[in-house]
Each structure stands twice: as C-alpha cells, then as structure tokens.
Chain A
Amino acid sequence: MIAAVAFYVLAAVTVVSALLVVTARNPVHSVLWLIMAFFSAAGLFVLLGAEFLAMLLVVVYVGAVAVLFLFVVMMLDVDFVKLREGFARYLPIAIIVAGVLLAEMIMITVAVANGGAAADAVGPAAATADKTNIEAIGRVLYTDYVYFFQAAGIVLLIAMIGAITLTLRHKPGIKRQDVGVQVGRNAKTAMELKSIETGAGLNPEDLR
C-alpha cells in the first residue's frame, strides 16, 4: 500500500514538474523544475528496486549535468517578450514533432506489452537475494557488453578532446605561475645584498 502511495506521489510530482519545465516563464525556474523531475524519477527507480541506477541518476544528472545547465542559464539575459515572439510560427512544427514522438511512444509501449520484436531477447538479469543489482549490472556490463562499454568510453573521450581543442588557446605574453619555481626559490637565488655608500643611492638598473 505504502509503495503504491509512494509511486503515485512520485509519478505525479515527476509529471507536474516536467510540465512546469516547459511552461515556466523564467528559464532558471525551468531548470529547477527539471532538477525536481530528475530527482523524483530517481525515486521511481528506487521503487523499481534499481537503487544503483537511481543513485547514478542523481549523481550524474542532478549533481553535475544540471549544475552546468543552471550555470549557463543563470547567465542569460532573459527577454521574455522576445522569447514569446516566434511561438505561433514554430507551433505547427512543434505539434508535428510532439505527435510523432507520442505515436512512437505508444507503439513502443504496445510492442513491449505484447512481447513484440524484443520478445525473444534475453531480459536483463534481475537482482536476486545473493546478488545486489550493482553486481548484476557490473557482471553484464563487463562481460557481455564489454566492447560496447569500451566504445561508449571512447566516444566520450573523443567528445572531451574535441571540447578541449575547441576552447584551448595559447596566448603569448602571459605570465604563468610555476609552483615548482616558486617553491624552489631560496635566499640565494631570490635576493641580493648590495652595500651602498652613504648618500650615493642605487639605480634600479644596477640590480639584476
């Protein structure tokens, strides 16, 4: 009974906050609602018994990806009038895309319910009493799908290198801090004692 109540509460919160993501006037509020949606989706994962996935969803999406979203969106100078400008013009395209997505989702749901094309495929191994779902995922990921796992890693690596090469600039004439040199300084290399005659003074050019 409690599980059912929890499910309906979490599901309602997820749907409502997802709706508010698209209807909120302020983009920052949209991102905050998105975070709420992620978080309650993680709650739904917990109810399914997939606590590992739930935690990963929170760590990766809520803890890192959404922070960067928020980081960018916060710095936008939002003009609400301009935001609404193209609404009527893009509405037909938006309706078509949404319609296609809805149709696809319904078809997939029906296919899954009936077995469909994936009926013969081996389902993911469920967590059992002696095997937590971390172990279950680990075994599948590092044995059956190890090549896909590696390939996904390489794709991410390439994306990372691409982002770095796009943004890396070597500007000449910038003084950079070299911690090794700073720490390696001592009285001998950093300072020089000059004995000056009284009244003669010292030109700055005479110093090293």
Chain B
Amino acid sequence: MTEFWTSPLGWTLATVGAILLVTVGVLLAVAFLLLADRKIWAGVQMRKGPNVVGPFGLLQSFADFFKFVLKEVVVPAGSDKAVFLLAPVLTVIVAFGAWAVMPFAPGWVISDLNVGILYVFAISSLGVYGIIMGGWASNSKYPFLGSLRSAAQMVSYEVSIGLVIINVILLAGTMNLTTIVTEQEGWIWNWFAFGGGAGTWPTVLIMFPMAIVFFVSALAETNRPPFDLPEAESELVAGYQVEYSSTPYLLFMMGEYVNIVFMCAMISLLFFGGWNPGFDVALIGLPDWPQWLANLFYLLVFSAKIVFWFFMFAMVKAFVPRYRYDQLMRLGWKIFLPTSLVAVAGVSAWRVFMVGA
C-alpha cells in the first residue's frame, strides 16, 4: 500500500487530496472568521451583530454565500469583459495558491519548498493584479482611482514586508517554512518575536518591533482598515469593487479574507512559533503520543494563534480611523522602510560578530 502512494499516480492523488483538504478547511475557517469579524466589530459598537440565521447567527456566512451566488452577474457594457471576469478569479486563485507551502503541523504541508518564504512573498505580490485589473476593466472612474491607489500602496508595503522577512531568515538561517517553525520550538523565548532563544536573545529589541511592523504592513498589504484606501467608501464609493456584483464580488471578498487569514498565519509562523505551544512539549509527554494526535494538538495551537491574530485584525478595523493617502505613503516609505533597513543591519551584525549563522 505504501508503494502505491509513492508511485506517480498515488502521489498525484495524495497531493490533490491534500489540496482539497486545505482548500475546504480554509474556506470553512474563512466562513466562520468572517462572521467573527462582524460579531467583533458589532461588539465594539455595542450592537448584537448577525444573530438571525442559525444559532447565534453561525450560518450567516452560508446564507450570504447563497445570496451572492444566486444573484445575476452584471457586466458593465463599456467594460473589458474578459479582464473584468478574470480579475476576481485571479484574486481567489492567488489567495489560495499561497497556502500550498503553509506548514500546519510537523509534516502536514502540501509542498515543503526550500524557498517557501520567497514563494509566499512572490505569490502575495501577485494579489495586486486582481485589484488593478478589476479597477481598469470596469472602465469607470472610481474603480480606476481605487486600483491606482492599491498599486502604489501594495508595492510600498511589500518593500517593508520583504525587509522584515529578511530578519527572520537571518535568525532561522533558512527559507524553508517548516524549518523556520522547528527553529522556534521549545520555550516561548525561542520564538523569533522574542529573539529566537540562545545566543540571539538580545535581538528581541529588534525583532519585537519588527513583528509589529510586519503586523501593520500586513494590514496595508491586505487592504484592511485603517489602510483600506482602494475601497474607501467615503471617497471612492467602494473603490475597485464598485462595478462588481454577485459571484465576482463574492470571489473578491473571499480572496480578501483568505489573504487576511493567510497573513495571520504568517505572523504566527514567522514570529510567534507557528505550531509550537510555547513550552517544552515533553512536559505533557507529547513525544510519546501517536503522531496523528500530536499533529492535531499542534494544528490546534496553530489555529489558536491564527484566530488570535485575526481577532487583532478585527479590533484594528473597529478602533482605528482610516489613514489619509499621504499619511499612508509617509508611514510606508519614511518610517517602516528605514526602520526595517536598520533592523536588517542590526540582526546581520549580531549574526556576523556575535553568533555565527
């Protein structure tokens, strides 16, 4: 039987199965996180939030899904039809594509690339095309302005995200995401946000602020409030989404939320230990557990971290007023870029002069 799974056909079947599993898992997670987002936002404003469909409104996202799917697709007459419909599809494909290298637990990863982190960076930089194409193809003023804003914004914040990621790569000494997580195992001070443990612990002074910079850049990269300028409703109606309705709109929104959850996963993976619970797992006798049970435990820990960061995303959306466009550019280029550049110099200096890589 094990022979079958290593044959080309078996390998293909196993990989397709894994892809389906991850896709369905992420979709279900997004359905409930979307509800959580609305509930948290409502809670901050002392409202009840969606509470009609199903117990506590738990099925609200599914009701919304059917509402979107069953509506008519309206394609504007003056639009570039092929590009107009391609844009949301591209957004969703790219958003899900990034999950291919996400390690959920030891060994539970679809593709364990040795350039995993670069792959993530490359794929997430493609996300901007969905927005630009959508805005341009709509052949309408507000969508176009939204897509122009988004192009500049995403390129700006990718720079600081890239530099922050370099710090993590320097500490981990690898670009493989699984290895980055296993480098952080053990106690909580081994997490890269707290300097990565023995020898490199003084870098906590650099790494903790870098974790915050990454979080803020992730907000900007996913067009979340307070950086949702491409769809600022007070200025641009709904930005690049103005002309979209029904399923194409649903795809845009789904891609956006999949991206947000992915960014939450990246923060916990790069800075907060990924699936490591933050204490020595030998304390609860984990090495003796069967492999699948141990992996489920790790998956649970990882999910808890993702949910925590999603909660932070939702709270930021509820609390923080929207940035003005020049403030956004100032933050990206004049504050984050120099700070993260200095951080890279600091961490690499520590690596070279104090602790060899």
- Tell whether A52 is near chain B: CB-to-CB under 8 Å: yes
- Count, chain B residues at interface, CB 8 A: 30
Most buried by A among B80, B136, B152, B327: B136
Q: How many A-B residue pairs have CB under 8 A?
A: 71
A83-110 vs B, CB cutoff 8 Å, 1 = contact: the mask equals 0000000000000000000000000000
**Judging by beta carbons under 8 Å apart, are A63 and B126 in contact?**
yes
Nearest residue (CB) in A for B12 is A2
> Is A64 a contact partner of B125 (Cβ separation < 8 A)?
yes
Which of B115-123, B233-241, B245-253 is near enough to bind chain A? Answer: B115-123
Choose the segment among B21-29, B127-135, B282-290, B302-310 that binds chain A (4+ C-beta atoms closer than 8 Å): B127-135
Residues of chain A within 8 A of B154, CB atoms compared? 67
Taking CB atoms, residues of chain B closer than 8 Å to A67 are: 128-129, 132, 151, 154-155
Write out the residue numbers on chain A whose beta carbons fall within 8 Å of the beta carbon of B123.
Answer: 58
Contact: B115 with A74, CB < 8 Å?
A: no
Contact of B158 among A63, A134, A177 (CB under 8 A): A63
In whole angstroms, how far apart are the Cα atoms of A2 and B128 in the complex? Answer: 31
Q: Which residues from chain A contact B118 at a C-beta distance below 8 Å?
A: 52, 55-56, 59
Q: Which residues of chain B are within 8 angstroms of A28 by Cβ–Cβ distance?
A: 80, 83, 136
Number of interface residues of A (CB under 8 A): 25
A68, B155: Cβ atoms closer than 8 Å: yes
With a CB–CB cut-off of 8 A, which chain B residues contact A52? 115, 118
Indicate if the CB atoms of A59 and B121 lie closer than 8 Å: yes
Interface of B is mostly: helix
Question: Judging by beta carbons under 8 Å apart, are A177 and B114 in contact?
Answer: no
Q: How far is the CA of A26 from the CA of B326 in the complex (A)?
A: 32
- Check if B40 is an interface residue, CB within 8 A of chain A: no
A70 sits at the interface (CB 8 A): yes
Instruction: Assess whether B125 is in contact with A55, with CB atoms less than 8 Å apart.
Output: no
Contact A63 B148 (CB under 8 A): no
Q: Is the CB of B133 within 8 A of A58?
A: no
B98 on the A face (CB < 8 A)? no
B18 contacts across to A, CB distance below 8 A: none
Contact code string A146-181 (vs B, CB < 8 Å = 1, else 0): 000000000000000000000000000000010000
Asked if B114 and A70 sit within 8 Å, CB to CB, the answer is no
Task: Determine whether A32 belongs to the interface, using a CB cutoff of 8 Å to chain B.
Answer: yes
Decide: A58 and B125 in contact? CB cutoff 8 A.
yes
Q: Name the CB-closest residue of B to A73.
A: B136
CA distance A56 to B80 in the complex (A): 31
Least CB separation from B113: chain A residue: A51
Write the A12-38 contact mask toward B (1 if CB under 8 angstroms, else 0): 000000000000001011001001000
Q: Which 4 A-B pairs have the closest CB atoms?
A: A63-B125, A58-B122, A55-B118, A59-B122
Interface residues of B (CB under 8 A from A): 8, 80, 83, 113-115, 118-119, 121-123, 125-126, 128-129, 132-133, 136, 144, 147-148, 151-152, 154-155, 158, 162, 175, 326-327
